[in-house]
A and B are shown apart, each in its own frame.
Chain A
Amino acid sequence: KAGVTQTPRYLIKTRGQQVTLSCSPISGHRSVSWYQQTPGQGLQFLFEYFSETQRNKGNFPGRFSGRQFSNSRSEMNVSTLELGDSALYLCASSLVVAPPKNIQYFGAGTRLSVL
């Protein structure tokens, strides 16, 4: 069974640009979550999508947005990039199991560098 696939693996952008990252979940998983990982702030939750609806959102500005398609694939978008947006962006998928047993399986991440 294929794991979570994130594309692209690496991206280089300049300040002010926008970027779109893609995530394909494990087959059958309907929940997709996104996390940002930086050396300073560690791993922080961005948002979660289930059945094409945003179900939860972390504490990030509106420049960070996402969506989910009917096949559960998800994209996240960051507009007006800032230097501080340089990070590893991780996507995770999970079966819809009642919390707290919501085991998330992660992809390899997209490493974004903003110059």
Chain B
Amino acid sequence: AQKITQTQPGMFVQEKEAVTLDCTYDTSDQSYGLFWYKQPSSGEMIFLIYQGSYDEQNATEGRYSLNFQKARKSANLVISASQLGDSAMYFCAMTGNYGGSQGNLIFGKGTKLSVKP
């Protein structure tokens, strides 16, 4: 069965420093997508970054980059130059396989990131 594991329930980082949020996944699919979302206390899930299983280069979106190691089945999120507004829950997700049809998401339990001034 497909699964996403985030082993860090909570993390602290100093403002302006970089931080890595861990994510490992398990799937038997050859083609899959990996995603990171941010959820502030308001509840809205904000899409951050996407990585396809066949993409050879690691994805980057502004201060966000995804460290994709396919053999290790890991998809860690790196946030550079942390800002106070980065304090939130972060979820790793992958495309799920529902009855042979892909597209919807399986989420990890999340990591709560707190940025200290």
**CB-based contact A103/B35 at 8 Å:** yes
Per the bound structure, the CA–CA distance linking A6 and B101 in Å amounts to: 26
Given A42-B109, A42-B110; A101-B104 close (CB under 8 Å): no
**CB-based contact B33/A55 at 8 Å:** no
A-B contact count (CB 8 A): 77
Q: Which residues of A contact B (CB under 8 A)?
A: 31, 33, 35, 42-45, 48, 55-58, 88, 90, 92, 94, 99-109, 111
B42 contacts partner chain A, Cβ-Cβ < 8 Å: yes
Within residues 49 to 89 of chain B, which ones have a CB less than 8 A from any CB in chain A? 50, 52-53
Contacts of A43 in B (CB 8 A): 91, 93, 105, 107
Given A90-B45, A101-B50, A103-B47; A33-B32 close (CB under 8 Å): no
**CB-based contact B50/A56 at 8 Å:** no
